[in-house]
Structure formats: structure tokens, C-alpha cells
Chain A
Amino acid sequence: MVRPVYSEPGDRIESTRPVTVSRYRGFIRANHWVTALSLILLLLSGLAFFHPSLYFLTGLFGGGQTARWLHPIIGVVLFVSFMVMFIQLWRLNLPTPDDKAWLNQIGDVVKGNEENLPELGKYNAGQKFIFWGMTLLIVVLIVSGIMIWEQFFGELVSIPTRRWAVLTHALAAVAIILVFILHVYAAFWTRGTLRAMTRGTVTGGWAYRHHRKWLRELAGRRQNGPAE
């Protein structure tokens, strides 16, 4: 069988009337929520150390000491779970010529005039931006985070290096929070998206509107593939 171009081998059309399409299977959904929960906990504990006006957030974790030791451990959990997700998702997040056309018409994207946009595979350029942005920032955060992990790596780097690491960590954290906000916002604004990460399926109309090449490939595979 030819490797699909616009879809994962596991994506498939689940029913035809009405059309529902399986977008994410159970493991990746569970793992996504591990990443998401970790990110939220990191955001809450990290913001507490970032700005004194948010220090009260350490109360959610049982105090400053607990928040301090928990934060980097959750960071490791996030890193591992995100890397698993990375391995599963990176291929379809590689840039394609369609992304350029999509970005050129970003005005139509924002206005929701999707009929003017090119047909897209499983991800659009915005989703790819979030994927690669998260990837880059998570790597920066884990590396700089280990450098400032006093409890276990207090002696790892020199103090001048540590100063750069703590500044980098703070800037990367601000950036990832902005990416996170964009991710959550886009998932809500584009109605019908959230169910891809809860139930795992999207409606045919959603796939037709936003990711038609993906839907087209799945439809073709269904017809030409082995009988079920």
C-alpha cells in the first residue's frame, strides 16, 4: 500500500451518513491531554515564580516549596509526552506549497472565508506553526530548565550561564504561553475542532471545510482499500 500523503494510516472515515471521520485515536488523545494538563500546571506554577503578583498561585500546589520541586518534574513529564506526540505528528506538519498560499490569504482565514483558500491536508499552516513553535520552545525550556534546576543540577553550569538560562527560560515561557493561547483560541473559534481531541472524530463537513485534501484522500482510500 502506498503511504498516504495527506493523512495518517490510522485516519479513516467512520460512517457515511452523516460522515464522521476519525482524526485522532485513543492513545494520542490521552497523551495530548497529559501534555495539556502538564502545560497548564507548569504555567500556573511557573507564573508564580515569574511575577510576585502571581505568587499566590503556589497555593494551588500547597506552597512555594512544593511548587518549586514539582515544577521541573512536571516539565520532564511534559517533555516526554510531547516527544511521543512529536514522533506521531511531525510528518504531516512538514511545510508544503499549500501553506504559502494559505499564509498569503491569512485575511480570508481570519474572516472565515475558507472557500477562497487552497484545499489542505491534515494541518494548515497555523496548526503547523503551533506544532513547530511548541516543539522549539519545549526544547528550549527543558534545556534551560535543567540548567536552573537547583535541586539536582545546581552545579551543572556556571553562574553566568545560569543567568542566561533563567532569562531564556522566562522569555521562552512567555512565548509558549502565547502559542498556547493561540492554540486554545483557534480550537474554540473553529467550531467542531475540540471533538477531535475528545471523541477523536470530526464531522464530514468540518473535514470538507478545513482539510479537504485530507478528507479526499481518506475517501479514496476507503473505496480502493481492502474490504472491511
Chain B
Amino acid sequence: MSETAPQPKTAASNPPVQPIASNLLPSDVVRISATKDVPQPDRQLTKVAKLIDVSKCIGCKACQSACIEWNDTKPEVETNVGVYENPHDLTPNMFTLMRFTEWVNPETDNLEWLIRKDGCMHCEDPGCLKACPAPGAIVQYSNGIVDFIHENCIGCGYCVTGCPFDIPRISKVDHKSYKCTLCSDRVAVGQGPACAKACPTQAIVFGTKEDMIAHANERVEDLKSRGYENAGIYDPAGVGGTHVFYVLHHADKPSIYEKLPDDPRISPVVEGWKGVTKTAGLAVMGVAAVGAAIHGIFARANKVDEHEEKEAEKLVSSGGSDDRGAV
């Protein structure tokens, strides 16, 4: 291994035949779950992104197959209940899922078949990472990829609570959390994600975030010229933008695409839990414990004296009555 992999700018390129060294290193991590003061890396990787243009998606699920194949997962075979989603939901073995919506456009009275590829959005401000209690179980690289480091995962499900998109799934087998990695292992060696590579219509494309935004803008313009006047980019600012983002023909109503959140952000409840509760809670408990210990050692104890022992004997021998009378 002599050469280091280039940073990928497309998913279309073929891998080199000779082995190359990874170019996504532990030192490229900018955020680590449950870890303060992560040393900032000495290089900044180019921000990458996967663009999903729902207007070009034909619902073939090649992306799902490629995902299963590359990640070597084995989603359970389920029962057909008369819907197109297969499997029925994201699972620990299915990191991406085509979600189908039959939507009647009230303006045209046309039935529109909306297909969205669901999966981790790789938020710039990841709620999973913020909620995670296990140091090093979730990391964010300087190219924007949010990755789960399974050996550090404890399976508590806090990432599920933190995620604004309902993405992580906890395995019942090894009790670890799973989601799309943005094929960090492929990106590390200069390749784009498997789903983008497999997509026959290039509804999924991959590259630098900058290139993808430029491409998305072209797509939006094209859609507008075709009468989709509300076409737009879904790159939600509430989570600082995402490294998987959409071109939607109805960008004014994201929720029609099988409950894509209109304005996703980390829930204030989660922020409150991981913010003031955590800090103030620890401080209050610490002060109470230390204060009680110090006071317990130095303060005058509440002691029973000899006189009271004698009084007790008197009280008992008199059958409970003394100068204050019987009960």
C-alpha cells in the first residue's frame, strides 16, 4: 500500500485495482459522543454529500440491494401486506428504505406517486451524537459523515431519542445501534456510497457538498421550468444542514413525502436533557453529597444522653404514663 486514497468527488468512478490506504482516519474526527474537547484535526476534509433527487427516482430499490450487498446485512424476509415498502421499515439490517406515498395533488387533482429514499441524513448537528452516553460510540468526521462505532455502542437507544428523523435501529441480536454509514468505508478509499453507485437513473448522486448543491440548483431550475413551481432543496437548517439531502418537487410540503419532517431540529426536550439537566443535575448531586459528608463529619451529632435513657426506663416501668399522662 503505497498510495493514499483520493477524496471521492463522485460515485461513478471505478475503484483502482491496486490496494490503497484509507484516507478517512481517526484523526479526521471532529465530534465524539460523550466526549468534551475533541482535539481539532490538522486537516479539513472536503465536505461530502449525497443528493437524492426524488423527481428522478423510479422506486426500483437498486439502492437497497446495493446497500445490503455492500454492508453484508441480511434483512429478514417479511410478509407482503399490500404496500410497496420492503422491508416494512428501516431495521438494524436495512439502512435505507424506499418509502412510497400516493398523494393527490389538490391543485391538479392528479395522483402523484412520491418515492423517497429514507435513511440517515448525516446532520451537521447530529441529535444521535448529542444524546449518546457512550464515549466514542458515535463520531462525526470533518467531511460530514456521522458514523456509529459499534464496539463502543451499549445499545441504550438514546440515539433513537436524539434523532429528529427516526433513523437508528437497535439490533435484537447484538444490542447495538445501526444506520447508514454513508459508506464511510468506501469513502475512505475514494469511492462513493454503494446506493449512489447502483442507482440507474442517477436520482442518487454523490460528491462534494458544494458540487451537489450546484447540481441540486440545476435540478430545481429544471423542475421549475417543467411546472413544479415549488421545487426546491431539502437541506434543513434546523440541524445545521445535512450531508444527505433531497431535491423535492414539492419542497414547500416535505411532510407529504412519507412524513419527512417539515422543520427538523434536535428536540428541545433532548437539548434540555443533555444540556442544563446534565450539568446542573451533576452539580446539585455533587454539592449535596460532599456537603452531607463534610457536615456529617464535622457537625455536632444528634446524640441521646444518659438522662434520656433513665427517663425511658421510668416511662416503661410506669407503663407509659408519666407526668404528661398516659396516652
Which residue numbers of A lie inside 8 Å of B, CB to CB?
5-6, 13, 16-19, 48-55, 58, 63-65, 67-69, 112, 114, 119, 148, 150-151, 154, 159-160, 162-164, 166-167, 170-171, 173-174, 177-178, 181-182, 184-185, 188-192, 203-209, 212-213, 215-224
Contacts and interface: CB of A to CB of B under 8 A. Distances in A.
Contact of A18 (B156, B278, B313, B321): B313
Given A69-B175, A223-B320, A16 B313 contact: yes
Contacts, number: 187
B315 A170 contact: no
A218 B292 CA distance: 33
Contacts of B326: 216, 220
Interface residues of B, number: 58
A56 B70 CA distance: 35
B308 A163 contact: no
Contacts of A53: 282
A19 B313 contact: yes
20 contacts: A19-B316, A49-B158, A50-B133, A50-B281, A52-B34, A148-B161, A150-B155, A163-B267, A174-B277, A174-B281, A181-B285, A184-B292, A185-B292, A204-B308, A204-B309, A208-B312, A216-B315, A216-B320, A219-B315, A220-B320
Nearest to A207: B312
Contact of B285 (A19, A68, A174, A184): A174
Contacts of A54: 282
B315 A52 contact: no
Contact of A203 (B34, B154, B299, B309): B309
Contacts of A204: 308-309, 312-313, 315-316
B35 A52 contact: yes
Nearest to B162: A163
B181 to A, nearest CB: 21
Contacts of B35: 52
A216 B156 CA distance: 53
B316 A55 contact: no
Interface of B: 34-36, 133-135, 152, 154-158, 160-161, 163, 166, 170, 175, 267, 269-270, 272-273, 277-278, 281-282, 284-285, 288-289, 292, 295-296, 299-306, 308-313, 315-321, 324, 326-327
Given A191-B304, A220-B319, A222-B316, A160 B133 contact: no
A205 B157 contact: no
A55 B278 CA distance: 13
A154 B319 contact: no
Contact of A219 (B154, B267, B273, B320): B320
Contacts of B133: 48-50, 52, 55
B277 A219 contact: no
A215 B309 contact: no
B135 A52 contact: yes
Contacts of B317: 16
Nearest to A160: B267
Contacts of A219: 315-316, 318-320
Contacts of A167: 269-270, 272-273, 277
A205 B282 contact: no
Q: Which 6 A-B pairs have the closest CB atoms?
A: A204-B312, A150-B157, A223-B319, A220-B320, A64-B154, A205-B309
